[in-house]
């Protein structure tokens, strides 16, 4: 394989592997959320950090709270897709994952 083609292939693989993934996912309460009824992922509110490419970053950031009517979280189309769109504009996105019914009732989703 010629050197340029090999380089292009390696870049394509690395970009594809990193696309669609947050830089980090941080628990809002590392020691356990107030009123948690378990230790499953849905019991642990978190914030996923999506950072734009360094060349595009403009210093702005948005907290994204996906909808779902407190009965579920629309983490794909109202979380990941919004974060990727913001990143393309150079904006950092922080996608909130919160607790929802029926496992959690008011006030847990807003804590």
- What are phi and psi for residue 86, nearest 5 degrees? -60, -40
Size of the chain, expressed as the number of residues it contains: 111
- What number of helices (H) and strands (E) belong to the chain? 2, 4
Break the chain into its structural domains and give their ranges.
Answer: 20-110
Task: List the one residue out of 71, 105, 87, 5 whose CA is nearest residue 79.
Answer: 87
What would the pLDDT profile of 6-28 be if each residue is shown by its tens digit?
A: 544 444 444 433 456 899 999 99
72 near 100, Cβ under 8 Å?
yes
What pTM value is reported for the model? 0.75
Question: How far is 54 from 35, CA to CA, in rounded Å?
Answer: 39
Question: How far is 21 from 97, CA to CA, in rounded Å?
Answer: 15
66 near 73, Cβ under 8 Å?
yes
List the structure tokens of 44.
């642990």
What would the pLDDT profile of 60-88 be if each residue is shown by its tens digit?
A: 999 999 998 778 889 999 999 999 999 99
Q: What is the share, in percent, of the chain residues with pLDDT greater than 90? A: 58
Dihedral of CA 69/48/111/34: which sign?
positive
In whole numbers, what is the pLDDT of the chain averaged over residues?
83
């Amino acid at each position: 394989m010629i050197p340029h083609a090999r380089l292009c292939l390696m870049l394509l693989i690395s970009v594809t592997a990193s696309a669609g993934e947050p830089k980090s996912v941080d628990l809002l309460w590392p020691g356990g959320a107030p009123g948690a009824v378990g230790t499953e992922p849905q019991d642990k509110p978190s914030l996923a950090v999506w950072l734009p490419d360094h060349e595009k970053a403009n210093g702005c950031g948005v907290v994204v709270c996906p909808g779902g009517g407190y009965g579920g979280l629309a983490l794909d189309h109202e979380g990941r897709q919004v974060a990727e769109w913001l990143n393309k504009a150079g904006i950092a996105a922080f996608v909130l994952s919160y607790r929802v019914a029926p496992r959690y009732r008011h006030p847990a989703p807003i804590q």
